[in-house]
Structure formats: structure tokens, C-alpha cells
Amino acid sequence: MDDDGISRVAIFIFLLLLSAFLSAAETAFVRINRIRMKNLAYSNDKKVESVLNLVNNYDILMSTIIILKSIANITATSLGVYEFSGYFNNYGTVFATIITVLLILLLGELLPRGLVKLAPEKFSMFASPVLKALISICTPVNFILSSIKKAFSRIFKAEIQPSITEDEFRTMIDEVENEGVINKNESDLIRSAIEFSETVVEDIYTPRTDIVGIEENEGLDEIKEKFIISGYSRLPVFSGDMDNIVGVLHEKDFYQALNRKEKDIKKLVAKILFVTTNKKISELLKELQLSKAHMAVVIDEYGGTEGLVTMEDIIEELVGEIWDEHDEVIEWFKKTGEDKFLISCNADLDDMFELFGLEPDEEMDVTTVNGFITMLFEGIPEVGGRLVYKDIDITVTKAEAKRVLEIQAEKIKKDAAITM
């Protein structure tokens, strides 16, 4: 082999190494954990800052890698075919092409990509100084390509998508939990925080039928009894009927007035907020904090009282049920057998569907199990009333004149179910 041949082989090897380096860099910056790198940035490591600068200019980085790798691979292929074809008598060009392509594919693509996947962050810090120099070299070409891209962007206007969607974030939480980085309680809290901004008052309020209230002219003994029996520290005060709630009475204020032997509770009644069912609880929480209130009345479209929502109800959407020493712990879903439950009809309908892995046939205008049951029976069923919805056998176990209190639900085989 003459000197020119040695030079060509040396150039070929250099181009092969350049292709391998660029392939590794491309894989590293595609697979890099940006959150991890941003956390490392707090250590004031200049290499980490350099990597983040490249990440922030991702399009220019990828453009540079693609341009140089294309040049390297095409030139290496040409040199390889030219140099190695002379070593084969028949079909020299064919064999040289196959060998050259295999070398570039194996050493310039597959091998470096596979190795870098093991530690993309480390390689990105190692490669960042070289990549910054290569970007400077390719600045004129990148400028031209960037201008062309902007021109096409004006012609074909595309909606800018966020770097990560809510569904993708939920998937990330599942993956992190599965890997053991966070436990189930932590992941549930994060999911609750995501859903918090989407939840409205309608999903959490106490219905009117369950409200314990005080008539403003009610006797002190009756008021005292209601505080004792209900266990609540605050009770709404109404004038005439529950549609005319005028404020809220705090238990502490009441007993202090009782000790002072005061008989008129009207001056103890604090103002109360009024909200509609479609109010977001994240906004309501801010309003309650600003007004230093703990309770709001939920009104319907006619201005009547539909229910009551408290700050505790809102906080429970984040951290789950909060029980104090005076609360009666309510078990919404009590398992009595395999795929068999006693269900309180105050429970959320979505929770029941989730329990049995069901999806409603259509958008239902009810949120509680009671509303769902009365919709299916087209009225208030008696105790013992029974039907099958999809593959769930439902029996009414407790009911009052105006609502259903409890049902028994059992999952049955689909071939035995009579779908309503």
C-alpha cells in the first residue's frame, strides 16, 4: 500500500470514529434525563451547564449532528469502496460496498448507540465541548436551514405542543412508582394534586338533605343539642327555610355566648360564601383563605340551596378522608365476598365504576350511587329491589322514602349477566 493508500485508510478511520462519536452524541441527547441534569445544575458544574445549553438549542444541535454525520458516512463509504475494491478480483465494487456499509453500520451506528444508552448523561458532559465547537463550524449551514424552517413554519402553521402532556406525566408517575423511587402514598398524592385543579364543587359537596342547620330564632337548648349530636364545629344558620341561609355559627362562639348568658345568636353569625356547582375547588380554596372562612353554600340555578362545601372537603381531595376522634368512620365499599360489596349510596359513582372496572354507556347526569340507582329504577326502589347492570348484580339493602341508602353489588359472569 502506497502513501496515498495509507492516507485514505487513515481518513476512513477518522470518518468512522467521527460517525461513531456523532451517533453516540445523538443517542445521548435523545435519551438524556433533563430533570436529572437540571438537578445537577445546582452544583454549579460547568459541564452540566454546557449540556443544558445544548439541550436548550436542541434543533441546532441535531441539525449539526445530522449534517456532519451524513458527510462523514457518505465520504467514508466512497473512500472505503474506492480503496477496498482493488482487493477483490471479481465483483470488487460489490464486496467493497458491503464491507464498508457493514463497518459503518456496526462501528459507526449500532455499537456506539448501544454503549451510550448505559450512561447518556455522562457521555453528554464528555461530548459537550466538542459539540459546541462543531456547532460553531456549522453555523452558516445551520443559519440557512433555520431560515428555511421558519419560512415553512409560516406557511404550515402548527400548534405548539407542550414538552410533556398530562397523560405522559401520569405515565411517568406510574413508572417512577414501579421502579420504587416513590411509594404508593406519594404517587397517589401527586395524582390527587394533578386532578385537584380539574375538580369542581359538584364532585365534593354535601347535599342539602344531609345538611344540619340552625334556624336563626331557634332556642339555645335546641342549638346546643344540634352541636352535640352532629359533632360539627360550625353549622349554617338559615331564616325560614334552608333556601335562605344567612351565615354560619361557630361552636366556640356559641358556648362563649352561652356562658355570658346571651340569648340572641344573630350577632354571632358570621358571613358565609355562596358558590355554584361548577366552581373549581382550587379557586374556592383561595376564596375561603382570603375571607378566612371554612364553609360555603352551594346554590342551584334558581338561587336555592343545593348543598354545602367545607374547607375540609377540599383538603380531603388532596390527602384523602380526614377523620377526627368524634367522626363516625364511613366505609363506602365494604367487601363481603369475592367481587361482592355492600356500598353506601352516598359514595361517588365513578369510584364504584372503577371498583368493578366498568365504563358507563353514556355521559350520566348523576354523581352518586343513589342517583345512579334511582335512575336505573326510574324512581325510589324498595328494599329487596334487584336488577343487573352490565355484569353487576345489584340489590337494594337499605332505603328511605326519598332516597336509597345502601346496595349490595356483586360481579357476575358476563354470559350470565342481563345487560340493561
Cell numbers at 207, concatenated: 347535599
| Torsions phi, psi for 213 (to 5 deg) | -125, 170
Residue by residue, DSSP assigns 46-93 as HHHHHHHHHHHTHHHHHHHHHHHHHHHHHHHHHHHHHHHGGG-STTHH
Coil, strand or helix: which one is 279?
coil
Q: What is the pTM of this model?
A: 0.55
- Residues 50-100: pLDDT tens digits? 888 888 888 889 999 999 999 999 998 888 888 777 666 666 678 878 888
Report the C-alpha gap between 237 and 321 in whole angstroms: 26
- Residues 364-418: pLDDT tens digits? 778 788 888 998 888 889 899 999 888 889 999 998 888 888 999 998 865 544 4
Local structure of residue 44 (DSSP, 8 states): T
- Residues 155-211: pLDDT tens digits? 776 566 666 677 777 787 887 788 777 887 788 788 777 778 788 898 888 888 889
Query: With 50 as the cut, is the pLDDT of residue 139 above it?
Result: yes
Coil, strand or helix: which one is 341?
strand
